[in-house]
Amino acid sequence: MKNKTSSAFRQLRTKIFLRTITMLAAAIVTIYTVYSFLLRGNFANFMVSLFQNVLDMDYHAAFELYGRVFRSHMDAIILFSLLLAFAVFLHFYLCCFTGYFEEISKEMDVLLQDIPREILLSPELISIEKKMALAKHMIDRQKSDMLIAEQRKNDLIMYLAHDLKTPLASSISYLNLLRDEKQISEELREKYLSISLSKAERLEELINEFLEIAKYNLSNITLQYSEINLTRLLEQLAYEFQPILKQKRLSCRLESEGDIMLKCDADKIQRVFDNLLRNAVLYSYSGTEIIISAGRGEGFLTLGFSNRGDTIPKEKLERIFEQFYRLDAGRGTEGAGLGLAIAKQIVTLHKGTITAASENNVTVFTVTLPDLVGNLSEKPQKNS
């Protein structure tokens, strides 16, 4: 680190050294000139001639005046002349240094006042310029992140107001009907109560989703790792979705390389697979097949959720894991647009990745997770 800093300021040291040598040389020449001028008669001749011309004195009177005024105080005059020369050169020498500080101070104002221009310093200060430019970039990025966070907060309020209002307003409407209609039939009463209950349950589901995404965003989640049979988990998930699959005349097939063990937070990782399969069901063509694949690579596990449906445009695919983002908001699909955002948060907590690809009416979500079980089982073999 010390060598790197030394190298960064080599150009500055070289320029200061050259300026110092130049100043010293100029000071020596000036002092020598002043000293020679005062002691070798040039100054005396100049002053005597000046007295003769200005005061109209003869040579002897002028020389006598010079002796009383200057010659008797020559030591003080020489000392004063040397100090004056030294002060002048010191002033210019210090100006060279303070010029750098003024330059840095000016660019600091650019940094602190967020003036929209690049940091520019002298070539010998390139190291400081790079660091200040990096600091400006980081400040700009932090400001951008703050604006994004503020926008997300505003979005949260907007979506809360919109998504919670719909089921709440519907539930209130049916409850008002039950209160106002005294002669309502038992069958209609049961229907209204059923709808109100359904809307209230939907409201509870939305609130739980909002609370969950807030939990992942605002707190440090601690994963509870345990070893699970990934293949059995996916089989159970596909079985639990059978009623929903039948409603859309869909089928689900699992492709797995035998029993695959996975070390993870079982509850949270199950939520990921549930969200991905639910998403596949929601956007699949009727009468098609959803394929869940699972396999082991070198140090990682790969899972895929593939379905046939409308090809997702690239611009939408890039935003698909954003909070509150819906592929087709105008279609009236249920959900707050948080399922995939939550899935990404959970996978990231597991130090994995989740990606999406869509072409030729086939959409595939791919989840990659660290193979902690495989790594643990290989260590004893390496030591033996």
For residue 251, give the 3-state DSSP assignment.
strand
pLDDT score for 1: 47
Residues with Cβ within 8 Å of residue 311, at least 6 apart in sequence: 358, 359, 360, 361, 362, 363
User: What percent of the chain is modeled with pLDDT above 70?
Assistant: 83
* Most confidently predicted of 69-78, 106-115, 128-137, 258-267: 258-267
pLDDT score for 297: 85
Q: Are 242 and 281 in contact (CB under 8 A)?
A: no
Token match 């003869």: residue?
A: 58
User: What percent of the chain is modeled with pLDDT above 90?
Assistant: 21
Whether residue 304 has pLDDT greater than 90: yes
Average pLDDT over residues 93-120: 82
Please, what is the angle between helix 10-39 and helix 42-55, to 10°? Answer: 60
Tens of pLDDT, residue by residue over 33-72, are: 766 665 555 777 777 788 788 887 888 888 788 777 777 7
Tens of pLDDT, residue by residue over 140-194, are: 888 888 887 787 677 767 766 766 776 788 788 888 888 887 778 888 888 888 8
pLDDT score for 357: 93
CATH numbers and ranges of domains, the chain: 2-117 (no CATH), 139-218 (1.10.287.130), 226-380 (3.30.565.10)
